[in-house]
Amino acid sequence: MAEGIPITRNPASPEHSEKIRAAVRAAVRMNDSRLATPDDAPGLYALFAEPKVSAPIYSLPRPLTEASVRAFIEDHVAQQERGKGLLFVRDTGDGQIMGYSDIQVWPEWAAGEIAGGLHPSLHSRGAGTQGAALTFSWMFEALHLDLLCETASLENTITQRMLDGMGFARMGQVTSTRPDGTTRASLVWEMTRADWAKRIITG
């Protein structure tokens, strides 16, 4: 994911860091999503092949092939074993994947980031914002994080409006490097556990 994030880096205690790693290793489901397995490569490739899904996201494998998607999944399996990353998918039960969530965790700072996307048939229904809110709450509670850090390209106005509307604080701009080595500028937002809890209470 992007270099230079999170912007805010408050060291977590060794005990807190290990609690986060243990939670990542133990995760099986996130709300209505399950962990991705290598068998999901065809379905996930089909989702990523949708330009409306893959175009705004710099962290997807490039070039995009079923083999590179399988390697992407296997890398996340290894990340989970280290307590530092998770890959979830939403499926219909017949092999079609309707969405994915890619979570990176920095246990040493009790921080995390999520990237993800939904099938175009679910766009413009409010599902993205609703799902994001549930996911942010899950990350704070299930993974014991204190900070969420999110990025979006300068052109991704949909995500920009969503994060601004949810009360995330703009923190500046960083450079994101894609798997093929090309780069893009990314805007950065952050949200603390305390501020998220206040938002949930006040609605």
Residue pair 128/161 in contact (Cβ under 8 Å)? The answer is: no
pLDDT band at 196 (very low <50, low <70, confident <90, very high): very high
Ordered by where they begin, the domains of the chain are: 14-202 (3.40.630.30)
pTM of the model: 0.92
Is pLDDT larger for residue 54 or for residue 74? Answer: 74
- CA nearest neighbour of 6 among 98, 75, 105, 89: 105
Predicted confidence (pLDDT) per residue in 115-135, tens digit = 998 888 776 555 567 888 999
The predicted pLDDT at position 128 comes to: 66
Task: To the nearest 10°, report the CA torsion of 162, 171, 59, 154.
Answer: 70
The predicted pLDDT at position 125 comes to: 59
For the ranges 44-58, 141-155, 179-193, the maximum mean pLDDT occurs at 141-155
Query: Mean pLDDT across the chain, nearest whole number?
Result: 91
Q: Which residue has the tokens 């900070």?
A: 147
pLDDT band at 93 (very low <50, low <70, confident <90, very high): confident
C-beta atoms surrounding 150 within 10 Å: 25
pLDDT band at 98 (very low <50, low <70, confident <90, very high): very high
For the ranges 48-52, 109-113, 158-162, the maximum mean pLDDT occurs at 109-113
Tokens read off for 129: 């914002």
Cα distance between residue 123 and residue 120, in whole Å: 5
Beta strand 111-118 with 147-153 is parallel
The predicted pLDDT at position 17 comes to: 98
Average pLDDT estimate for 93-99: 86
pLDDT at 100 over 80: yes
Task: To the nearest 10°, report the CA torsion of 189, 193, 197, 198.
Answer: -60
Residue pair 44/34 in contact (Cβ under 8 Å)? The answer is: no
The predicted pLDDT at position 51 comes to: 87
pLDDT at 81 over 80: yes
What's CA 16's distance to the chain center, in Å? 21
Q: Within a 13 Å sphere around the CA of 55, how many CA atoms are in the beta-carbon half?
A: 10
The predicted pLDDT at position 111 comes to: 98
Average pLDDT estimate for 89-107: 91
Give residues with Cβ within 8 angstroms of 119, minimum separation 6: 47, 50, 53, 97, 98, 99
The predicted pLDDT at position 69 comes to: 97
pLDDT at 203 over 90: no
**54 SS3 class:** helix
